[in-house]
Amino acid sequence: MSARLLHTPPQELGFPGKTLQYLEQSVAHWIMSHGALAFMMPTIGEHLGITRAAISVHDYVAAMDGLVLQGGADVSPSTYDETPLRPEWSGDRIRDLYEIELLWEFVIQGKPVLGICRGMQLINVACGGTLYQDILEQRPGAHAHRDPVLYDKFHHEIEVEPASMLAQIYPERTHGRVNSIHHQAVNKLGSDLAIEAWSSGDRVVEAIRWLGSGFLFGTQWHPEFHVAGSDLLDGGPIMSSFLAAARAAADT
């Protein structure tokens, strides 16, 4: 898993002036519940005394079977050549560059990449696409896709594209109910990407897939938060497909 970055941790954590790298435990448990080991991949920073000659991204990725891009802070508009419309939408440019480098090295080595929420948005930007910095600000008529009080209990319906990979993962499902925890969304679709699902009603992009060889797939919702037996779309088939791609890559 790529790391989330906390550049200015709260004083009560006891690390003044330090950057923390962390993961949300649900995504690690989701991976492990399917029989795989979960590792967080820290950034490689030369200013910290880690030189590329000592630790190469190529060798780093060679030791892994696949990459899960976590959710978290906004993708920085500067990463897709825009200026933040508001200071609070500036995002995390440092994390963007770190994750994009990881993403393409996994693709080059033929290993699968799964993007969750921000991770899906990053895939789009890495492929040359852009984002709506804020859905309600830039998509008149769209419904809210985030509720800070309800958080992952805020849900809506999606429509699955026929003949998509998502339709193969969920046979005979044309719709599903998912959580919604984002205010950014895909605007211009990146090169060689296909839309796999839309939000019902306002047609906000909810899942994308790379058309190149290999597994590069992202969902706007957090499948790791979907509890088995609920009315939400079961996240298990997505993780199973990702791990099947990892096993296939390891066998080549």
Query: 23, 1 in Cβ contact below 8 A?
Result: yes
Q: What are the CA-CA distances from residue 54 to residues 50, 102, 108 (Å)?
A: 7, 17, 21
What value, to the nearest 5°, has the Cα angle with vertex 42 and ends 56 and 216? 80
Q: What are the CA-CA distances from residue 55 to residues 60, 61, 74, 103 (Å)?
A: 7, 11, 28, 17
Q: Which residues pair with 21 in a beta bridge?
A: 5
Which of 99, 161, 196, 224 is catalytic? The answer is: 224
Q: What are the CA-CA distances from residue 144 to residues 41, 73, 95, 117 (Å)?
A: 33, 18, 26, 15
* 222 included as an active-site residue: yes
Which of 156, 182, 222, 226 is catalytic? The answer is: 222
What is the phi/psi pair of residue 219, to 5°? -120, 140
Which of 117, 127, 145, 196 is catalytic? The answer is: 117
Q: Which residue has the tokens 């995390």?
A: 92
* 117 included as an active-site residue: yes
Spatial separation of the C-alpha atoms in residues 62 and 121, rounded to whole Å? 25
Helix, strand, or coil here: 149? Answer: coil
Q: Give the single-character DSSP code of 113.
A: E
* 224 included as an active-site residue: yes
Spatial separation of the C-alpha atoms in residues 177 and 158, rounded to whole Å? 6
Q: Let me know how long the chain is.
A: 252
Query: 128, 190 in Cβ contact below 8 A?
Result: yes
Residue positions annotated with a catalytic role: 117, 222, 224
